[in-house]
Amino acid sequence: MTQITSHSPIHVIGGGLAGSEAAWQIANAGVPVILHEMRGVRGTEAHKTDDLAELVCSNSFRSDDATSNAVGVIHAEMRMAGSLIMACADRHQVPAGGALAVDRDGFSAAVTQAVQTHPLITVVREEIEGLPPREWDQAIIATGPLTAPGLASAIQAETGADALAFFDAIAPIVYRDSINMDICWYQSRYDKVGPGGTGKDYINCPMDEARYNAFLDALIAGDAIGFKEWEGTPYFDGCLPIEVMAERGRETLRHGPMKPMGLTNAHNPTVKAYAVVQLRQDNALGTLYNMVGFQTKLKYGAQAEIFRLIPGLENAEFARLGGLHRNTYINSPTLLDRSLVLKSRPGLRFAGQITGCEGYVESASIGLLAGRFAAAERKGEAPSLPPPTTALGSLLNHITGGHIVSDEEPGKRSFQPMNINFGLFPELEPGSIVKPEGVKRFRGKDKTIMKRQLIAKRALAECAKWLGVQAPVLAESA
């Protein structure tokens, strides 16, 4: 049934997670939306389909623990705000220990269907090669890290600032039936049971010291894709290629994606692995597993050869090998106001990874905010900003002014992409952390856990108050 509305449409450019979420929030506020998506007319170097909100890297939305994990908190806040991305993720989750992982095809198909069938959303398959025309008095650019060159050039010309770029590397995906389970075993780290999980949600491949060192040598010597015209572009530390991490020191991987802690080899319980490679379920059928933390810029031939040195993956068949794509983001603290409007162009907002946030949920959450802000303005209302104590508010604050400015080089750009984390939240009120009764020593890890739990609890309460909804009742974290 078509809804009746007197409002002029808001244009959203980009049908990724941020753009889809922005369109959904606007439409659900009773304002029509025209969503412009170039895939279907022009592809990208990373996308494989024309579906909206396609996941091109991991299939994990990371931790869903809203009691003591910042990512879990933003999940909960987005659910309270009626997020389409979170609703579709919840419907298409696959087991992943303490994380919320999704069947990537089912997830993006669900987002596409919801957006295309909403009576107030019109999806137009076309490339927008420049800034929106002036007659689009309310528009959101949510083109993400793969913004087309024409639009990127127009943004640069409008802002007068250089857009920074960094590489994002994609992890390989392995067919489950090609993994040798006589060597590997199922177990989540510390046997943690998460949403939809059993505590045995990862496939683990053990290495002794000799195999680890041989693998490391091969990894460092592997044939990688050159930077070419992107020479000098920095990586985002949260998504470093595995071979770049290896070059940083022989112990780096053992304390990163290949750490053996919290895992016991089911085939040989008395022998502790020197290092462990984990694979996480990538689709609902359980036929595909991605190599956790193994994003790479190795050439395809080198990948297959080197990764088959991992015990249990000697005969691995790859549904998709790793790849490399370029991310671009703007200097948001300088260019955007608190409601994500470009200061030089009233009515034009930015959302998603192009603003300098990192991660699926972070990108979608900024789309959620941009959509709500734009809809409010269209209805003649002032945008209601989330409290800075919330995950949404703390991430917004980082994007619009929470970065570190160098006193030594005041003109130097210091803004960098960031995932949501407790370091972005305001400190608790003095005296908030109280030693539990009967506990003699209260410091270190125990104190940190309590601090995070209190920040999370405060965030959810403040977000519920801001939205005018009931705060979720959460089980205590294990």
Annotated binding site: 14-19
Q: What CA–CA distance (Å, rounded) separates 231 from 327?
A: 14
The answer to whether the Cα torsion of 402, 404, 407, 408 is positive or negative is negative
What DSSP designation does 357 have? B
Q: How many CB atoms lie within 10 A of CB 99?
A: 29
- 291 contacts: CB under 8 Å, gap ≥ 6: 171, 172, 173, 174, 277, 278, 279, 307
Quick one: which H or E segment has residue 213?
A: helix 209-221
Residues shown for the chain? 478
Q: Does residue 242 sit in helix, strand or coil?
A: helix
Burial (CB < 10 A; 0-12, 13-18, 19+), residue 153, is: middle
Tokens linked to 60: 């994990």
For residues 199 and 351, the answer to whether their CB atoms sit within 8 Å is no
Tokens linked to 14: 């980009």
The end-to-end CA distance of the chain, in Å, is: 46
- 114 contacts: CB under 8 Å, gap ≥ 6: 24, 84, 88
Q: What CA–CA distance (Å, rounded) separates 387 from 412?
A: 29
Q: Binding site for FAD: residue ranges? A: 14-19
Tokens linked to 362: 């972070």
Strand partners, 166: 327
Q: In what order do the strands lie in the sheet with 99-102?
A: 60-63, 99-102, 93-94
Q: How many CB atoms lie within 10 A of CB 471?
A: 17
